[in-house]
Amino acid sequence: MEAGGFESAFEAFARTIGSDSRLRYAPTPSGYLHEGNLLNFRLNFRASRFARPSAHILLRIDDLDAARARTAYIRNIFDTLHEQALAWDEGPTDVADFEKNWSQQHRLPLYYELLSLLRKKGLLYACAKSRRDLEPFGGVPPEHFRQQHLDLDAPDVAWRVLTPPGFPMPDFVVRRRDGVPAYQVATIADDLHFGVTHVIRGADLQASTQAQQWLAEAAGLSAFAEIQFLHHPLIMGADGRKLSKSAGV
C-alpha cells in the first residue's frame, strides 16, 4: 500500500476508535526493538488520540517463547517507550512487575482452555513431522501429513489445525511439540481476555490475522470477529528486507 493510501486507511480506521476502545502494544522480547516496532507503537498511540478522551492502550509483552525472551530485551521495551514518550494505560510498569504479574506464563490456563475447545470440536491432528520434513513441500503440510494416525496425547507431537483448501497458513501449529500453546492461540485468548477492540499490525502479519480470525470463528468465539484490524507498511532495511529484531533501534 502506498503511503498516501495507508494514511487514508489509517484515518478511516482511527475514526472508529472511541474513548471506550482498547488498543495494544504487543512486542515480543526476542531481540532489541527496531524502527519497525517504533512505527507500530507510534501508530497505536496516534490512533488512540483520535478519541476524546483518549482510548485505552494495553502494554502486552508476548513472552510465550520463554527460550528466546531475555531480561535485557524486556527492559529495552520499557526504556524505548519511555524515551519516545509513548504512554500506556494498562500493563506492567517495569521488568519486575512484568515478571511477577504480566508474563504470558501467568495466562497459560487461558491458552490451554482454548486448545481444549479446539480439540473438542475435532479440529486438530497430531503431527510428528519436523520443519526439515516440511522443506520438500515448501513448508506447506501435504495431505498425507493428516494421516499420521497419532494420538494427540502422544509425546513429542505438535497439534495442527485442519484448515480449508487454499488457506494462507495451511494446517498451522496451535500447540508446539514441547506442549506449549502456539502464538496464534495465545494472541486470540489474550485479545479477548483484555477486551482489545482495535489492532494495528505490520503488513507481514496479514496471514496471521486471517489465521486468528478463522481459528476464533471455528472455535465459536464470535467476539473476536468484532476486533478491527489495520495493517501498516513495513520499514525496510538497506538490503531491501524487513527489519528484524537483531538490527536494534
> What is the average pLDDT across 193-212?
97
Q: Provide mean pLDDT across the span 137-166.
A: 95
3-62: pLDDT as tens digits:
668 999 999 999 999 999 999 999 999 999 999 999 999 999 999 999 999 999 999 999
Q: Transcribe 138-177 into DSSP letters.
A: TTPPPGGGGG----TTSTT-EEEE-PPTT-SSTT-EEE-T
Tell me the DSSP string of 10-51: HHHHHTT--TT-EEEE----SS---HHHHHHHHHHHHHHTTS
Comparing C-alpha atoms, which of 166, 163, 120 is closest to residue 145? 163
Full-model pTM: 0.93
CA 79/CA 94 separation, integer angstroms: 9
pLDDT digits (tens, 9 = 90+) for 224-241: 999 999 999 998 655 555
Task: Provide the grid cell at 80.
Answer: 524505548
Distance, first Cα to last Cα, the chain: 24
Per-residue b or e along 191-222, where b marks 16 or more CB atoms closer than 10 Å to that residue's CB: bbebebbbbbbbeebeebbebbebbbebbebe
Looking at residue 248, what is its pLDDT? 43
Question: Which domains does the chain carry?
Answer: 3-247 (3.40.50.620)
Confidence of residue 201 (pLDDT cuts 50, 70, 90): very high
